Amino acid sequence: MRPPYPHPIIAREGWPFLAAAVAAAVLVGWLAGGWWSLPVWLGALFVLQFFRDPPREVPDDPQAVVSPADGRIVAVERARDPWLERDALKISVFMNVFNVHSNRSPVDGTVQRRWYHAGRFLNAALDKASLENERNALALRTADGVDVTCVQIAGLVARRILCYVEAGAELERGQRFGFIRFGSRVDVYLPPEAQAVAALGDKVHAAESVLARLPAHG
């Protein structure tokens, strides 16, 4: 059974930003009048949409690798997993500022390791962002012994990667584990024999869209 959704509609990370934006709009309206506060209210609406975090329906397929983020597929390729030092199938999801930025586990698995690497803030749509930008990586191992690496990558505007799990944590597919503020990217490295389902340019939704299917056994 999936855990109950802990923060309906608005992500908990957004509450301070939303409260500050609404307070600023009210203050400007009180001091200068309603028309002057309109741009601030528009800013508050942007904050509201950015931090929305709707519940999702997770596919029942036990071999499905679900998208860890909302966005657009910018890479489906054979690549080297720099974290586990292996050949892999790499699938990357780029999030713009209008996407939901809550990050979800792509598989059922145990966190084997967590790495954090400080770096640059290049446009996250660029391939070199995977190796040069600030990033946080999780190595997950499924019950079948299949290793999956999930990497949160900061972007041009994103300046904060939030990850709430450490080595030893048990995650279910679609379970929320982190958040990236204001535009970013998530890379998933899978075994080379995994079968890609998503294609370049596809729009995907975290926890719902299937990126690939894992081999039955590692």
Ordered per-residue pLDDT tens for the chain, 218 residues: 445 455 557 888 888 888 999 999 999 988 888 888 899 999 989 888 788 888 888 998 989 999 999 999 999 999 999 999 999 999 999 988 888 888 999 999 999 999 998 766 555 555 665 666 788 999 999 999 999 999 999 866 555 788 999 999 999 999 999 988 766 889 999 999 999 999 999 999 999 999 999 987 64
Residues 6+ apart with CB under 8 A from 22: 44
Length reported for the chain: 218
pLDDT for 218 equals 46
Distance from C-alpha of 133 to C-alpha of 87, rounded to nearest angstrom: 21
Which residues share a beta bridge with 204?
71
CA distance 83 to 70: 23
- Catalytic choice (102, 130, 184, 209): 184
The whole-angstrom separation of Cα 76 and Cα 92 is 7
How far apart CA 45 and CA 95 sit, in angstroms, is 19
| SS3 annotation, 71-131 | EEEEEEEEEEECCCCEEEEEEEEEECCCCCCEEECCCCEEEEEEEEECCECCCCCCCCHHH
Q: Which amino acid is at 201?
A: G
67 assigned to active site: no
pTM of the shown model: 0.84
Residues 186 and 106 sit within 8 Å (Cβ to Cβ): no
How far is residue 33 CA from its own chain's centroid? Answer: 39
Residue with token string 């892999």? 88
Fold of 64-213: Glucose Permease (Domain IIA) (2.70.70)
Q: Where are the domains of the chain?
A: 12-50, 64-213
